[in-house]
Structure 1
Amino acid sequence: MPPTAGTVRVLGADPAALSGRERRRLRARVGTVHQALELVGRLRVVHDVNAGRLAQWSAARAAWSLVRPQGLPEVLAALERVGLADRAFERTERLSGGQRQRVAIARLLVQEPDLVLADEPASALDPVLADRVLALLGEPALARGGALVTALHDPGLVRRHCGRVVGLAEGRVVLDRPVAALSASDLAEFYGAAM
């Protein structure tokens, strides 16, 4: 749906002004981690991770990859980084919720996007793994001068992994400043009011 007011710019481009091909190229530069994860449970983990590259591959290569996984060294390296290299050939549906969340992160790592949009990427993870995953999430985009935009409900994760906080309540921006300029009481007040 087009915006009713203002403009939307993604990585410097107005998606509404792009051709279908240009929009697909732009979409390939944006990585997402949805709260619902959007994995295919019946596939093996390696295929769910490779789904991060589908926008970059031809239809023939994508189909062949289901028979013989393409880019296996990169997939295994991404799975190693999230602690799941030993699960590459298991069916995704056999993994726990936290493990599936890490598969979604590995998918993002092989995609190497310029912009990462993540909705509660650490919600099913223990605190140590949540810190590790959030550190990994920003790497692909930040390495190329891009950005990580994430929704987090844990003020501690916000303080440790974000550079700027934009707080929304009832559809309005109620907080917008660098994390370094926030006090613990600012975050406590915002998170208390937002809950």
Structure 2
Amino acid sequence: MTAVLRLDGAEVRYGRTTALAVVDLTVGPGERVAVVGASGAGKSTLLGLANGSVLPTAGSVRVLGADPAALRGRALRQLRARVGTVHQHLELVGQLRVVHNVNAGRLGAWSGLRAAWSLVRPQGLPDVEAALDRVGLADRVYERTERLSGGQRQRVAIARLLVQQPDLVLADEPASALDPVLADQALRLLGELALERGGALLACLHDPAMALRHCDRVVGLAAGRVVLDEPVAALSAADLAAFYGAPA
């Protein structure tokens, strides 16, 4: 069975700075993987390799069976349309209404004409409404996104992934602006979305307890290297606390 994500000796260097150093990692279909580590450990760089926005300086990366570095034009756009990312800074357009930010998840599958027309008359409205209902924002379809709270905007970003229906779901601190109940809901939804299509979830998480509750496997990074890779069943809260260097 083809791996959803595979890194073989992948390195990323920026001048004399090494962001990732000789990383070997395979994520298979149906896996929910938490990526943990201190700030600067290489977590965001790892997600960049997974969505093709970062190319390796050495080694190889295969995403959904393809090498992003070898693709151009339509083939690259098609691959990127199969990878959905919830960024830490969300990348929403505040001046646009919620419906348009959610529909941005489909831009990779739409023609330029349809995307432009959707700004005038929103397309695929039933799917947008269903996605917003799943994240508890069914009454905010036409709200200007800039008027929402930080937690509500985070849920809009998750709804954008729900309409995109990617095969690989990437999340960079997807619950950082949410209260505990909504945070659990968000991680559950992202995991369900990945598994619905036989894909995988790779989520950078600051909270070890969330990793234990919502993921099957934990990968720990330190100074750009994988120093921990264990199934959740083999870990305890104390194990992850020790990895963070914090009291259990």
| TM-score after normalising by structure 2 | 0.76
Task: Give the ranges of 4+ consecutive aligned residues of structure 1 lying more than 6 Å apart after TM superposition.
Answer: none
**Partner secondary structure for residue 37 of structure 1:** coil
1:70 to 92, 104, 123: 123
Deviation at 1:17, TM superposition (A): 1.9
Q: Give 2:225's aligned residue.
A: 172
The aligned runs of 1:148-163 (5 Å cut-off) are 148-163=201-216
Which one scores higher on RCO, CA 8 angstroms, separation ≥ 6? 2
Q: Identity across aligned pairs (percent)?
A: 81
Q: In structure 2, what residue type is equivalent to 1:33?
A: V
Please state whether the residue corresponding to 1:55 is helix, strand or coil: coil
TM-score, with normalisation over the residues of structure 1?
A: 0.96
Distance 2:72 2:112 in 1: 20
3-state DSSP of counterpart to 2:142: coil
Structure-1 separation of matches of 2:182 and 2:55: 37
Structure 2 alignment gaps of length 5 or more: 1-53
What residue in structure 2 maps to residue 102 of structure 1? Answer: 155
Greater share of strand: 2
CA contact (8 A) 1:159 1:179 kept: yes
**Structure 2 Cα separation of the partners of residues 13 and 136 of structure 1:** 26
CA distance, structure 2, for counterparts of residue 66 and residue 2 of structure 1 = 32
Give SS of 1:42's match: coil
1:119 aligns with 2:172: yes
Residue-by-residue CA offset, 1:102-124 (whole Å, 9 max, x unaligned): 00000000000000110000000
Match of 1:7 among 60, 76, 94: 60
Using the alignment, how far apart are the partners of 2:156 and 2:55 within structure 1? 32
Structure 1 unpaired stretches of 5+: none
- Name the stretch that deviates more: 5-14 or 115-124: 5-14
| Aligned length in residues | 193
Q: Which moved more, 1:66-75 or 1:14-23?
A: 14-23
2:191 to 138, 141, 163: 138
Question: What does the per-residue CA deviation read over 1:117-143, in whole Å, with 9 as the maximum and x for residues that have no partner?
Answer: 100000000001000010001222211
Quote the RMSD (CA, aligned, Å): 1.1
> How many Å separate the matches in 2 of 1:108 and 1:2?
23
Match status 1:38 vs 2:38: no
